[in-house]
């Protein structure tokens, strides 16, 4: 798909708010259709529609094949790390990482699929984790690095 084939944001699938369990089911089983590419991302990051059982939502898909190597992480692990970030966020009750799954059958091969969340202008991302939660954040960080 060429970047010029998209006429603008109105031609893209819109984000859809849904409960996390429904989103995870959709992400696991839905058909992924690539609609565009996020050109400022350092890895292949694709804006997609995901559809199943009459429900369509926007998602981001990052195929393993499009990962750029980093000196501090093993090659080909970004997708798994993003899935792990979602799992940690859920387990600790933070709910700050959108529903994220690993798919082996993506359009460009295995990769991460994450529900696209509409921007909330009322959320200050710098203050997303309140000071009362920072102690738990630091403790979790220490336990994950040990």
Question: Which pLDDT tens digit goes with each residue over 64-77?
Answer: 999 988 888 888 88
pLDDT at 137 over 80: no
For the ranges 13-17, 70-74, 123-127, the maximum mean pLDDT occurs at 13-17
76 backbone φψ class: left, alpha, beta (φ>0; ψ -120 to 50): left
Least confident of 20-29, 47-56, 102-111, 123-132: 123-132
**pLDDT value at residue 73:** 83
- The pLDDT > 90 percentage for the chain reads 62
CA 24 → CA 46, 55, 81, 102, 114, distances in Å?
18, 13, 17, 10, 9
pLDDT at 50 over 70: yes
Averaged pLDDT score across all residues of the chain: 84
**pLDDT value at residue 128:** 60
More confident residue, 126 or 25: 25
> DSSP code of 107?
B
Least confident of 3-17, 24-38, 54-68, 89-103: 3-17
pLDDT category of residue 81 using cuts at 50, 70 and 90: very high
CA 87 → CA 24, 56, 70, 74, 94, distances in Å?
12, 23, 22, 20, 10
């Amino acid at each position: 798909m060429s970047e010029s084939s998209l006429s603008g944001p109105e031609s893209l699938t819109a984000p859809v708010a849904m409960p996390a369990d429904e989103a995870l089911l959709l992400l696991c089983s839905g058909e992924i259709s690539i609609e565009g590419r996020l050109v400022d991302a350092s890895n292949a990051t694709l804006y997609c529609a995901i559809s199943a059982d009459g429900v369509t939502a926007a998602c981001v898909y990052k195929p393993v094949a499009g990962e750029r190597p980093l000196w501090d992480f093993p090659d080909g692990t970004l997708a798994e790390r993003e899935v792990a970030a979602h799992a940690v966020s859920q387990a600790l009750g933070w709910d700050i990482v959108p529903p994220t799954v690993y798919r082996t059958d993506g359009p460009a091969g295995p990769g991460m699929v994450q529900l696209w969340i509409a921007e909330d202008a009322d959320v200050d991302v710098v203050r997303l984790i309140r000071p009362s939660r920072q102690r738990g954040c630091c403790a979790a960080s220490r336990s994950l690095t040990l």
